[in-house]
Each structure stands twice: as C-alpha cells, then as structure tokens.
Amino acid sequence: MFLGLMGGPDPAGSTPGPDSTPLERLYYDLVRQWHPIVIALPGLAFLVAGSAAAILLLRSPVPDLYRPESRQQDPRWAAFAQAQQRRIDGEVSRPNPLA
C-alpha cells in the first residue's frame, strides 16, 4: 500500500539528473508524469475511509455496544437444558432420520 501511495520507485514530478543511468532516463520517458499521482489516489482514499471508520467506531457510546445484564431467567434455556439432560440419561431416544 505504501508503494501505491508513493507512486512507485520514483516520486512524481522528479526528473533524471545528470548522473542518472540510461535506464532511469528511459523510465522517465516511458512513464507519464500523471501516472504516479493516479496510482496514489486509491491508496489515499482507502486511508481516509479507514480512518473515518475507526474514528466513528471509537466515538460510539458504551451503552450502544453493551446491553445491561438481564436478571430474569429465560424459560427456553431451562426447557432446553432439561430436554438435553433427559436425552443424556437415555429417557428420550433420538429421532431416526431414515425412518
């Protein structure tokens, strides 16, 4: 991602100096000067969107993330636990899926 933000091995707008190699001069002639900037824009947009999402998540109040503990017992859990215990004790047989 950082390579995309930098736009590649050469920064945008740089010109080959007098001590540059022929390969660097060919690269400068081959790659358009707007190309590194266009490549960097999606990476920058990703950074901005990720930062905005992190900030919005960090600003959420705690009561929105956690519910208070319920002091009432749900009768469905008691019925489920009793049915499981009866099955474990062998009082209730499992239904045969092939029958």
- Is the distance from CB of 56 to CB of 49 less than 8 angstroms? no
Does any domain span residue 81? no
Position 18 scores a pLDDT of: 77
Supply the pLDDT for residue 17.
73
Looking at the domain assignment, is residue 53 inside a domain? Answer: yes
pLDDT at 90: 80
Predicted local distance difference test score (pLDDT) of residue 46: 93
The answer to whether residues 4 and 43 touch, using CB atoms and an 8 Å cutoff, is yes
Q: Would 83 be classed as within a structural domain?
A: no
Mean pLDDT for back-to-back runs of 10 residues, the chain (99 residues) = 50 67 80 76 91 88 72 81 87 60
pLDDT score at 24: 79
In a domain, 10, yes or no: yes
Contact 37, 7 (CB under 8 A): yes
**Residue 33 resides in a domain:** yes
Q: What are phi and psi of 11, to 5 degrees?
A: -70, 155
Q: How far apart are CA 40 and CA 15, in angstroms?
A: 19
pLDDT value for 50: 94
Is residue 77 situated within a structural domain? no
Into how many domains does the chain fold?
Answer: 1
Residue 36: count other Cβ atoms within 10 Å of its Cβ: 20
What pLDDT sits at residue 53?
Answer: 93
